Chain A
Amino acid sequence: MLAFIQTLGKNTRASFTKLGRATFFLLHTITGIIDIMPRPRLLLNQLYSVGVLSFLIISISGLFVGMVLGLQGYYILSDFGAEETLGVMVAASLVRELGPVVSALLFAGRAGSALTAEIGLMKATEQLSGMEMMAVDPIKRIISPRFLAGFISMPLLAALFSAIGIIGGQIVGTGLLGVDDGAYWSQMQAKIDFQDDIINGVIKSLVFGFVSSWIALFEGYDAVPTSEGVSRATTRTVVNSAFSILGLDFVLTALMFGDD
């Protein structure tokens, strides 16, 4: 029993120490963004590897999620004779929830794990240490551009996910199941609110982009510099990002849509 309490205390302390390190790391990263502003090429390269390279998985997943929504939505709505509102259902689910959440989960799996592995390996092969000895701050030079790229890419990827998903829903709904095309789009236009739905979705994906980039980069930077350490850090990135994204989604949803 005593041993249990000891372990509990030790683990709690370790978690808080890690949280403290992560916070310092974040502050250092954010202040570093100012220094890389005059060098847009650093950011552009990262936007490509973090954002553009995630586009394929995001767009294909978006298409299939939209198609499934179209199919499931049609079966349920047609029971009530409300299949004309399929467009609203597909768009609202995507823009409010599935777009930000699923694309953030995919982002954590595709870009987040790659970032952790990259930074962890740079640490293991002494590249970060080498940079420090060359009087170059590795957080500013390596971490800040990647963090900013993740933060910028995430809402764009989520928007693309939702847009392609809506087209997927349309392909199934109007193309295969015979929902009226005009109704699909006009109902969507009438019911989806810019402020309530779209802006809130964008806010969500900004938060998810911030958190999952932070987790991925910190886990890489904090990894034990061995091959085992890097692989564990990569796993932690995906697990912790998924938990944070889903947990935060609940909190944000409660805050945003709680009133009405």
Chain B
Amino acid sequence: MSDNARSQNSLVAVRNLSFSRGSNKIFKDVSMDFERGKITAIMGPSGTGKTTLLKLIGGQLQPAQGTVMVDGKNVHRLRRGDLFELRKRIGMLFQSGALLTDMNVYDNVAFPLREHTHLPESMIRSLVLMKLQAVGLRGARDLMPNELSGGMARRVALARAIALDPMMIMYDEPFTGQDPISKGVLVHLIKSLNTFLGLTSIIVSHDVQETSAIADYIYVISDGKIIGEGSPADIQNSSSDWVQQFMVGSADGPVHFHYPAKDLQDDLMSAGKRY
């Protein structure tokens, strides 16, 4: 699909976004489109500000420059009340799951429903059980978060994220630290939720295989810039050395194995110094 068509169909449009932390520039003039109904992935090494991007889209951080439009609304120009209204339509899955530790699984999934709706308890029960059924954890409703495995916690968080039937979900490193089975379950869940609920999904990840398997479009970012974008096939066949190094996972390449340092011989010969 042409870039123009993608941007016309986008639910989230990021334009000329710049963001810094102190003197460290995290994003430099980045533009991206996240198409409706599609799974768009943002990939890149750790520490490139992938999570920061999600926080910028969710309005938790303010950009230095540029705009983030979600469903036609400029996130950073909204008043607090309107921003909260918008957030009710956005689900977010945090890396840790971010379940409330003083509530069991059932109450965690019921939490957004109880906070934002005035539904009777009987209806909340039906909704919660349906959402838990969707992630396969209806039987775990009475467990506390500390009794769940990492993968289960993420699935509960996913059930909570879809509790209010959002228009989109943002996934922050959904596969990190998961065993192969949990990864498989999550890949399947993200894909099927996206298809059956007609969601728009944004996945931030550095798990190349899992993400490429389900993403419709991928942005690869490094050093605050987009260094590659396209369908998973385009990215696999990218001519950029950098993208190739990232996709294959080579130890040396445009991203050096060695942290910048002075010449080894000079360093070894400078005896008497403490370091």
Contacts and interface: CB of A to CB of B under 8 A. Distances in A.
A143 to B, nearest CB: 14
Contacts of A133: 58, 60, 87, 90, 92
A132 B98 CA distance: 11
Contact of A127 (B55, B85, B98): B98
Contacts of A127: 98-101
Contact of A125 (B98, B116, B160): B98
A130 B94 contact: yes
Interface string B112-141: 100110000000000000000000000000
Nearest to A121: B101
Interface residues of B, number: 22
A130 B115 contact: no
Contacts of B90: 133
A141 B84 CA distance: 14
Interface string B157-178: 1001000000000000000000
B98 A130 contact: yes
Interface in A120-179: 121-122, 125-127, 129-137, 141
A126 B85 contact: no
A126 B95 contact: yes
B116 A129 contact: no
Contact of A126 (B98, B112, B116): B98
A125 B55 CA distance: 15
A232 B58 CA distance: 30
Interface string B74-109: 000000000011011010101110111100000000
Contacts, number: 49
A121 B96 CA distance: 12
A135 B92 contact: no
Nearest to A133: B92
A203 B160 CA distance: 44
A125 B96 contact: yes
Contacts of A132: 60, 87
Interface string A31-68: 00000000000000000000000000000000000000
A105 to B, nearest CB: 27
B115 A141 contact: yes
B246 interface: no
A85 B116 CA distance: 61
B111 interface: yes
Contacts of B55: 129
A136 B98 contact: no
A44 to B, nearest CB: 14
A135 B100 contact: no
Given A126-B96, A129-B60, A130-B94, A135 B101 contact: no
A132 B99 CA distance: 13
Nearest to A124: B96
B112 A136 contact: yes
B151 to A, nearest CB: 17
A134 B115 contact: yes
B161 to A, nearest CB: 8
Contacts of A122: 101
Contacts of A129: 55, 60, 94, 98
B60 A134 contact: no
B92 A130 contact: yes
Nearest to A132: B60
A133 B84 CA distance: 8
Contacts of A121: 101
A183 to B, nearest CB: 51
Interface in B170-201: none
B94 A134 contact: no
The 7 closest A-B pairs by CB, nearest first: A130-B98, A135-B87, A126-B98, A135-B84, A133-B92, A126-B94, A135-B88
Given A129-B98, A134-B112, 17 more contacts: A125-B98, A125-B101, A126-B96, A127-B99, A129-B55, A129-B94, A130-B94, A130-B98, A132-B60, A133-B92, A134-B88, A134-B92, A135-B85, A135-B87, A135-B115, A136-B111, A141-B115
Interface of A: 121-122, 125-127, 129-137, 141
18 contacts: A125-B96, A126-B94, A127-B99, A127-B100, A129-B55, A130-B92, A130-B98, A130-B157, A131-B100, A133-B92, A134-B87, A134-B88, A134-B112, A134-B160, A135-B87, A135-B88, A135-B115, A136-B115
